[in-house]
Amino acid sequence: AKQAGRNTVRFFDQQMQDAVTARVALEGELHKALDRQQFRLHYQIQVDASGRPLGAEALIRWMHPERGLVPPDQFIGMAEETDLILPIGQWVMDTACAQLKTWQQHAPTRDLVLAVNVSATQFHQLDFVFQVRATVQRHAIDPKLLKLELTESMLLENIEDTIRTMNALKEIGVQFSLDDFGTGYSSLQYLKRLPLDQIKIDQSFVRDIASDSNDREIVGTIIAMAQNLYLDVIAEGVETEEQRQFLQDNGCTHFQGYLFGKPVPVEQFEAMLQPDRAS
Ligand code: C2E
Ligand code: CA
Ligand code: CA
Ligand code: CA
């Protein structure tokens, strides 16, 4: 038993060693990914209750030459720890605004709102307001079409600074959505103080709507709360017509999920908007 125990320890040592090596390698490659133009934005459609396109969420993708497509969950955390999220976040903002500019010039995409994910590190930079304003101006876009997705935990960090930052951006017309809502601890009391436009119901509550009466209750409460604050509500991770129907019956007005479309490259996204498309 002693011998086996020692082997087990050695086995885990080796596994940990491998994990560390893999991590260091990935981090090295992440440093070069921007220069090598390996990032892409994919766009996931957001619709209203009648299925009409309202906008999209921009989701980053890392196209690695050997590893293939690396999903954000495998590198965003690392990017945050190393502050690489700052140049990457700026690249996302720039690319999103350039895309909005193109959309503004054509009929079917003219009014689409583009939601961009902002990380805590980015948001708490002293020059965040300046950077967003400069990017919006550089691309000459209507700031109302840009929606920043923030999470509860990052807003709680320093509520007074948060409110100041949000108000400064609100002044130029930028919109705010509270991402992953329901997973944190925000009270109505404090939500009231934030100049939000939208609350996004986390997909973990949407997933089990059909089977879990607790989740149905939570979703109903979140929507009622949003209505009390005069905020839009969007549900993410909507995969079935049953989920969509329940959400709509309870007052949800905006929808996002595989039921309407997966995140796709811009050409594919634009093709989805053509009224004469097949199927
Ligand atoms: P998120 O902001 O909560 O994004 C929603 C995630 O759910 C996306 O995963 C999306 O592809 C996925 N999703 C959408 N519809 C469905 C559905 O119907 N069913 C299921 N099961 N999943 C669905 P993705 O693209 O892998 O992104 C993961 C996370 O990475 C995002 O979560 C966000 O926190 C982060 N992220 C993505 N892009 C960016 C970015 O540009 N900047 C920052 N800071 N974070 C980003
Ligand atoms: Ca998001
Ligand atoms: Ca989310
Ligand atoms: Ca999430």
Q: What is the pLDDT of residues 155-182, one digit of tens each?
A: 888 889 999 999 999 999 999 999 988 8
pLDDT at 12 over 80: no
Going by C-alpha positions, the residue among 271, 266, 274 that lies closest to residue 96 is: 266
Q: Assign 1 a pLDDT band (cuts: 50, 70, 90).
A: very low
pLDDT of residue 152: 87
Mutating to test ligand 1, I would choose from 34, 46, 59, 244 the residue with most ligand atoms within 8 A of its C-beta, which is 59
pLDDT of residue 8: 65
Which residue bears the tokens 């999470």? 151
Q: Could you tell me the distance, in angstroms and rounded to a whole number, from the CA of residue 150 to the centre of ligand 4?
A: 11
Closest C-alpha to ligand 1, atom 44: 119
Q: What is the DSSP string of 174-239?
A: -EEEEEEETSS---HHHHTTS--SEEEE-HHHHHTTTT-HHHHHHHHHHHHHHHHTT-EEEE----
Atom of ligand 1 nearest to the CA of 76: 45
pLDDT at 2 over 70: no
Residues with CB under 6 A from ligand 1: 44, 59-60, 71-73, 76, 89, 92, 117, 119, 179-180, 203, 236-239, 257-258, 263
pTM of the complete model? 0.93
Strand duo 232-235 + 198-201: pairing: parallel
> In terms of C-beta density within 10 A (0-12 exposed, 13-18 middle, 19 or more buried), how is residue 97 classed?
buried
Closest C-alpha to ligand 1, atom 19: 237
pLDDT at 91 over 70: yes
E-assigned strand segments in 68-163: 68-70, 113-117, 146-151
Find the ligand nearest to 150 CA. Answer: 2
3-state SS class at 242: helix
